[in-house]
């Protein structure tokens, strides 16, 4: 008990990093999980990590201002680790946005309970599939492991300006990968819908008396969902590989972090 009280400031710093990751990371950040459960998960994980971090030694500032800056540093690292995974889920939603615009579902939006934003129905559908893939590959365990690994290379009191300067570089890599993943998921269906649009345009020129707009709308919906049903294993595979690459990128980033 004396050991815990003596190192209580370190315990709070570790819990700040863990809490920041849980607030923004997919699955953990969902409003479907009560706030008390999130706080309990963060507390229990911190209890496991705390002895190993405190045993390595540390140096705390003597004033309150320095400790506040250290808290902000821990929060920024936790938010960054959770944000890297949430960007991939934004790619899943973006792929649904591509499809919704082509099919005509862009006007119908629903509230995403995970990201708390309005997204098209297709984006919500892809987001739920991505969440199931994340749980199937134990991605929620990997996120916790990533926070623990961050203490091996970004321990308390050692993150300097060079360390924090690497955030921007890794964010640029992640955002560029987001658009690539979204395009890979949406490209097959969008390409088929585009060909259907061209065919309907030719048909409208050949038979102008037909109401192509009224006939084409349900036809495009049926074709798009049929193609999506056929390529669903491919979509799941792309999501699985994308999440694997994101976690591999996080661990590689921690291993080669500047500073």
- Which structure tokens are listed for 236? 């799941």
- pLDDT score for 228: 84
Q: What is the pLDDT of residues 55-98, one digit of tens each?
A: 776 667 777 777 787 888 788 888 888 888 888 888 888 887 77
Hey, which of 23-32, 105-114, 148-157, 213-222 has the most confident mean pLDDT? 23-32
- Count CB atoms within 10 A of the CB of residue 158: 14
Would you say 163 and 258 are in contact if contact means Cβ atoms under 8 Å apart?
A: yes
Q: In terms of Cα–Cα distance, which of 182, 89, 88, 184 is closest to 127?
A: 89
- Which structure tokens are listed for 207? 């038979």
Cα separation, 227 vs 189, whole angstroms:
6
Would you say 16 and 115 are in contact if contact means Cβ atoms under 8 Å apart?
A: no
| Collapsed DSSP state (helix, strand, coil) of residue 42 | helix
Is the pLDDT at 161 greater than 70? The verdict is no
- Count CB atoms within 10 A of the CB of residue 124: 21
Lowest model confidence (mean pLDDT) among 41-45, 176-180, 207-211 = 207-211
Mean pLDDT of the chain: 76
Lowest model confidence (mean pLDDT) among 25-34, 41-50, 118-127 = 118-127
Q: What is the pLDDT of residues 89-120, one digit of tens each?
A: 888 888 877 777 777 665 555 555 555 555 66
Cα separation, 110 vs 115, whole angstroms:
11
Cα separation, 166 vs 249, whole angstroms:
14
Q: What percent of the chain has pLDDT over 70?
A: 79
> How much is the pTM?
0.76
Is the pLDDT at 6 greater than 70? The verdict is no
Domain boundaries, the chain: 2-184+233-255
Q: How many angstroms separate the Cα of 67 from the Cα of each of 10, 12, 42, 56, 72?
A: 10, 11, 21, 19, 9
């Amino acid at each position: 008990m004396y050991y815990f009280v003596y190192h209580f400031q370190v315990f709070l710093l570790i819990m700040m990093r863990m809490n920041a990751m849980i607030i923004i990371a997919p699955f953990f950040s969902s409003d479907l999980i009560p706030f008390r459960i999130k706080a309990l998960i963060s507390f229990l994980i911190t209890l496991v990590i705390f002895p190993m971090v405190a045993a390595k030694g540390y140096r705390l500032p003597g004033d309150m201002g320095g400790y506040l800056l250290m808290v902000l540093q821990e929060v920024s690292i936790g938010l960054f680790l959770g944000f890297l995974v949430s960007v991939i889920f934004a790619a899943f939603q973006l792929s649904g946005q591509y499809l919704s615009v082509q099919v005509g579902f862009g006007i119908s939006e629903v509230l995403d309970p995970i990201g708390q934003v309005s997204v098209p129905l297709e984006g919500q559908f892809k987001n739920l599939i991505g969440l199931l893939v994340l749980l199937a590959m134990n991605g929620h365990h990997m996120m916790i492991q990533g926070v623990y690994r961050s203490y091996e290379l970004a321990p308390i009191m050692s993150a300097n300006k060079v360390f924090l300067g690497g955030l921007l570089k890794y964010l640029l890599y992640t955002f560029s990968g987001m658009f690539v993943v979204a395009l890979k998921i949406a490209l097959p269906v969008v390409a088929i819908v585009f060909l259907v649009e061209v065919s309907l345009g030719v048909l409208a020129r050949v038979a102008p008396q037909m109401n192509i707009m009224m006939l084409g709308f349900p036809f495009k919906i049926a074709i798009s969902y049929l193609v999506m049903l056929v390529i669903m294993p491919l979509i799941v595979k792309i999501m699985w590989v994308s999440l694997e690459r994101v976690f591999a990128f996080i661990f590689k980033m921690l291993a080669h972090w500047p500073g």
